[in-house]
Structure 1
Amino acid sequence: MKKLVLGRTGLEVSPIAIGGAAFAYVHRSKKWDPMSDEGKQVVHATLHRALDLGINYVDTAPAYGNGYSETLVGEVMKTRRSECVLASKVWYELDHAGVIDSFHQILERLQTDHIDIMQIHGRMYTPQEVQHILHGGPLDALLELRASGKIGHIGITTEEPWTVIPFLQHEAIEVYQIAYNFIYQAAARHFLIEAAKVDAGVVSMRTMTSGILQREMSLLAPASASIPDLYEVALKFVLSDSRVHAGIVEMRWPQEVEDNVRLLNDWHPPVDFATLPRLTFEVYKAEDAE
């Protein structure tokens, strides 16, 4: 599988990453239960299949099932750690000591002695929370862990991309995991423009819209909505933006891994969505030029 360089980290990552959130939640209508013995085996098989096919970016967090997702990932990492870029998170409200303590628990669950990308985990940030992260302990703790060689790179996650723009001026924060997808494209108007200027690594969360687009279409246009096609469109959207280095996809079964890898290998974006017009008059000008 082709790899992309994750901004100024220099890490080479697959364009799709496997997200660990789904490994912590039961979805009965889909007959998905990662808490069962059978479910655990499926999770392991899915992770192994992803690594076999060249997906080398694995993202998880303590918040996913109170460490359960990390535990399942760790059971695979104990034999295949060297094959992937491993990312996890520490909660943004923690202080210096809390970050250090959380980090060491993460290492135990993931059965490793280092994390490639350790991210500050949050949803959106007020000015006060930005100051807490920068000066109240979290960033300092991660800098210490990086200096000791226990983490490779520092990142941050957000549901509202505009709230992490202030962090772009801090060179130590290299990776940004943002909500960016087919129905939530706001980052294209601000964050992605600024992130490209400093060569930040950008990873999309909710790449498949967390199923929101698909569910809404099934309600609004049940006769015309094709659920599998809508998932494919959502993935193609993120893969078409050159400013996004990897899209996180929650793949539950090995077959989902194979389907996504097949799409990635057989399809090439017709245009770079980084150049896509975002305002009405820009759309008119683009169409008139055609």
Structure 2
Amino acid sequence: MIGTRKIGGLEVGAQGLGCMGMSQAYGVRDNDDESIATVHRALDLGVTLFDTANVYGAGENEKLVGRAIAGRRDELVLATKFGIVWTEDGMTARGDAAYVKQCCDESLRRLGVDHIDLYYQHRVDPDVPIEETWGALAELADAGKIRHAGISEAGAATIRRAHAVHPVAALQSEWSLWTRGIEDEILGTCRELGIGIVPFSPLGRGFLTGAVTSLKDLPDDDVRRTMPRFADGNFERNLAIVDALRTLAAEKKVTAGQLALAWVQAKGPDVVPIPGTKRRKYLEENVAAAELELSEKDLAAIEQAAPSDAVAGARYPERLARAAGR
């Protein structure tokens, strides 16, 4: 059993589980029974924060998570999100009050629950004042439909404005050895305000595990094929980072992925990463990283092996990047 941590007033297992890949993005949805078994195994191992969103699989992921947690609702902290809208031009965001409330009711129905423990604004709507969005979240909290509110991929000034309306419990943003943009102003703002940090993609969308050695390893419909860091040229340069991590990991008799995940876990007691998987095998490997202790010397060696300025390629293609970091 892993230990626990506190994020914005919520006590959760020191590592959470990202459920998106069970329904979309990383290949076909191929085995719901194994996904449900993975959720159950996670609970048995002390993982209590489960993360989904209304947009994952167009609502199908929430339905799947709802099936998985049925009968065990009181053992976990359930997080979902609203706010991303897909158009022909790519990803955009919506945050008007009526839409926030509509999305919440729809998510409650799909999940089969009477409240959401942590409800995130998935992306910030540039056309709606953050005060309107968070006023709606405050009303949902008053109504008992949500217990805590969070925000994802937001800038420091936006976080402050949201927090002034209703407490922000957690920031969910990408954070890993190859994505470190939150470490300056955003991280400092969250810690000043007592906001927990929930890193998504702490394994660099699986790249830092070393399991992907060629684009041929990815299914044809895998979203990573569209991402700049997986593009020809960038892919090969980034493999050098993984090779360096493998060398360090071998000295500790762990995997490169476990070392990369332990690095994120070591960033503070207010940090609860949510590596995603739909397989019990990889879940157990990830959870083991939560118990891996790293010295200051270890952390320095890891950062030297994987310097942030060595990463080749942007995080997202342009159609996905426009809605991040507002």
What TM-score, normalized to structure 1?
Answer: 0.79
What SS is found at the alignment partner of 2:202? coil
Paired residues of 2:48 and 2:75 also in contact (CA < 8 A): yes
**Percent identical:** 26
Distance (Å, rounded) in 2 between the aligned partners of 1:142 and 1:162: 19
Q: How does 1:152-167 map to 2 (within 5 A)?
A: 152-158=147-153, 161-162=155-156, 164-167=158-161
Aligned mates of 2:257, 2:300 — CA distance in 1: 23
| 1:185-224 CA-partner distances (Å, limit 9, x unpaired) | 1211211112111111211112111134555697235794
Displacement of 1:148 in angstroms is: 1.2
- The residue that corresponds to 2:56 in the other structure is 64
Q: In structure 2, what is the Cα distance between the partners aligned to 1:235 and 1:62?
A: 26
Structure 1 residue matching 2:274: 3-state secondary structure: strand
Give the distance between the partners of 1:207 and 1:46, measured in 2 at CA.
19
Give the deviation of 1:165 after TM superposition. 4.2
How many residues are paired up? 260
Question: Does residue 269 of structure 1 match 2:266?
Answer: no
Query: What secondary structure does 1:112 align onto?
Result: coil
Query: For residue 43 of structure 2, what is the aligned residue in structure 1?
Result: 51
Where in structure 2 are the equivalents of 1:156-235 lying within 5 Å? 156-158=151-153, 161-162=155-156, 164-167=158-161, 169-170=163-164, 171-213=166-208, 214=210, 219-220=236-237, 221=239, 224=243, 226=246, 229-235=255-261
The counterpart of 1:74, out of the listed 41, 55, 66, is 66
- In structure 2, stretches of 5+ residues that fail to align are 84-92, 213-229, 304-326
Contact 1:240–1:272 (CA under 8 A) maintained in structure 2: no
Q: What are the superposed Cα offsets for residues 144-194 of structure 1, whole Å, 9 maximum, x if unpaired?
A: 110011110111111x65564444652522211111111111211211112
- Map of 1:81-96 to 2, 5 A cutoff? 81-91=73-83, 92-96=93-97
Report the residue type matching 1:61 in the other structure.
A
Cα separation, 1, equivalents of 2:109 and 2:50: 17
Q: How far 1:90 moved relative to its partner?
A: 1.2
User: Which position in structure 1 is the counterpart of 2:15?
Assistant: 16
- Output the amino acid matched with 1:270: S
Q: What's 1:283 paired with?
A: none
> How many angstroms does 1:78 deviate by?
1.8
Q: Which residue number corresponds to residue 241 of structure 1?
A: 267
| Counterpart residue number, 1:100 | 101
Q: Aligned pair in 2 of structure 1 residues 155, 169: CA closer, same or farther (>3 Å)?
A: closer
Q: How far, CA to CA, are the matches of 2:25 and 2:53 in structure 1?
A: 17
The secondary structure found in structure 2 opposite 1:195 is: helix
Contact residue 58 and residue 87 of structure 1 kept, 8 A: yes
- The 3 A distance-change label for structure 1 pair 85 and 234 is same
Q: Distance in 2 between matches of 1:181 and 1:168?
A: 25
Q: Which amino acid aligns with 2:7?
A: L
1:112 paired residue number:
113
Q: Which has the higher contact order (CA 8 A, sep 6+)?
A: 2
Looking at structure 2, the residues matched to 150 and 244 of structure 1 have their Cα atoms a distance apart, in angstroms, of 25
The one-letter code matched in structure 1 to 2:36 is: H
C-alpha deviations, 1:42-69, integer Å up to 9, x for none? 1110000001111000010011010111
Asked if residue 259 in structure 1 is aligned to residue 285 in structure 2, the reply is: yes
2:222 corresponding residue in structure 1: none
User: Structure 1's 273 and 108: CA in aligned 2 closer, same or farther, altered over 3 A?
Assistant: farther
Structure 2 distance, partners of 1:242, 1:69, is 30
Alpha-carbon offset, residue 40 of structure 1: 0.8
> What is the identity, as a one-letter code, of the residue corresponding to 1:115?
I
**Secondary structure of 2:197's partner?**
strand
Deviation at 1:244, TM superposition (A): 4.2
SS of equivalent to 2:259: helix
Cα shift at 1:94: 3.5
RMSD of aligned C-alpha atoms? Answer: 3.0
**CA 1:46 to 1:176, structure 2 compared with 1: closer, same or farther past 3 Å?**
same
Q: 1:133 aligns with which of 130, 134, 142?
A: 130
Deviation at 1:233, TM superposition (A): 2.6
Looking at structure 1, the residues matched to 131 and 108 of structure 2 have their Cα atoms a distance apart, in angstroms, of 23
Q: Secondary structure at the match of 1:149?
A: coil
Deviation at 1:271, TM superposition (A): 3.5
